[in-house]
C-alpha cells in the first residue's frame, strides 16, 4: 500500500487570484502574504474619484481583511472624540470584525479601518464574498454616521449627545455578524 501525502500548504497568491476573478475586483498589488484589491463597482464609488479598496494580509495562520474609511484625519489627535466613542461601542456589538485607527501615509494621516480576521483554513470563496460585503456595509454605516455628525442630525452638536443615539440597540438585523446582546 502506498503512502498518501496530504498537502497542508496555503498558497495565498493563488487563493486571492481565484477569489478576485470576478469583474467586481481588480488586484492592485499581490505577493506571498499581502494584497491590495480595488472594488470596481461605480455604485460604491465616492466623490472625487475615490474607489473603495481593501487589503488582505496573511499573518501566521490568520487572514486579515481591512477596508479604510475614506475620511482622513491629519493626525490621531484631530479625530473627533464622539466618532471614536461610537466606533468603540459598535465594536462591542460585533462578533467578528472591529474598527481601529491606522496611520495611512508618511504625512501621518489617520483613518478608521474596519478589520476582519479569519483563520486561513476557514477561508473559502463564500466566506471571502461575505467578508467583503461586511466590510462594505460597515464602511457605509460609518459614512452615514459621519454625515449625521457633520450635518448636526441626532443632536450630536450638543454636549449631552449620546453615542448610543446612532446605534440600533437591537443590533443590525441585516448583518448576521452583529452581536445582539443586551447592554
Residue 122 has pLDDT above 80, yes or no: yes
- pLDDT, position 148: 79
Cβ neighbours of 172 (radius 10 Å): 18
Q: Which three cell numbers stand for residue 152?
A: 448636526
CA-CA distance, 62 to 131, in Å (whole number)? Answer: 14
Predicted TM-score (pTM) of this structure: 0.76
Q: Which long-range contacts (CB under 8 A, 24 or more apart) does 174-180 make?
A: 174/137, 175/134, 175/137, 177/94, 177/95, 177/96, 177/97, 177/134, 178/93, 178/94, 178/95, 179/92, 179/93, 179/94, 179/95, 180/93
Alpha helices in the chain (DSSP H): 12-19, 81-93, 125-151
Fold adopted by 12-166: Yope Regulator; Chain: A, (3.30.1460)
For residue range 21-43, list pLDDT tens digits in order: 768 899 999 999 999 999 887 66
**129 φ, ψ to 5°?**
-60, -45
Instruction: Return the exposure string of 61-89: e unless at least 16 CB atoms fall within 10 Å of the residue's CB, then b.
Output: eebebbbbbbeebeeeeebeebbeebbee
| Of residues 13 and 152, more confidently modeled | 13
Least confident of 19-28, 63-72, 93-102, 151-160: 151-160
Residue 136 has pLDDT above 70, yes or no: yes
Q: Which three cell numbers stand for residue 95?
A: 462578533
Alpha-carbon Rg for the chain, nearest whole angstrom, is 19
Amino acid at each position: 500500500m502506498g503512502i498518501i501525502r496530504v498537502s497542508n500548504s496555503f498558497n495565498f497568491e493563488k487563493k486571492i487570484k481565484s477569489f478576485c476573478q470576478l469583474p467586481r475586483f481588480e488586484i492592485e498589488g499581490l505577493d506571498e502574504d499581502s494584497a491590495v484589491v480595488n472594488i470596481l463597482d461605480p455604485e460604491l464609488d465616492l466623490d472625487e474619484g475615490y474607489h473603495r479598496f481593501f487589503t488582505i494580509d496573511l499573518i501566521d495562520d490568520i487572514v486579515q481583511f481591512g477596508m479604510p474609511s475614506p475620511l482622513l484625519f491629519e493626525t490621531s489627535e484631530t479625530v473627533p472624540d464622539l466618532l471614536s466613542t461610537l466606533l468603540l461601542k459598535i465594536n462591542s456589538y460585533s462578533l467578528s470584525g472591529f474598527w481601529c485607527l491606522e496611520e495611512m501615509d508618511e504625512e501621518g494621516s489617520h483613518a478608521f479601518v474596519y478589520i476582519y480576521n479569519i483563520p486561513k483554513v476557514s477561508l473559502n470563496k463564500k466566506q471571502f464574498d461575505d467578508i467583503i460585503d461586511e466590510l462594505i456595509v460597515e464602511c457605509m454605516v460609518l459614512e452615514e454616521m459621519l454625515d449625521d455628525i457633520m450635518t448636526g442630525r441626532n443632536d450630536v452638536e450638543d454636549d449631552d449627545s449620546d453615542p448610543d443615539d446612532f446605534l440600533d440597540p437591537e443590533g443590525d438585523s441585516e448583518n448576521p455578524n452583529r452581536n445582539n446582546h443586551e447592554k
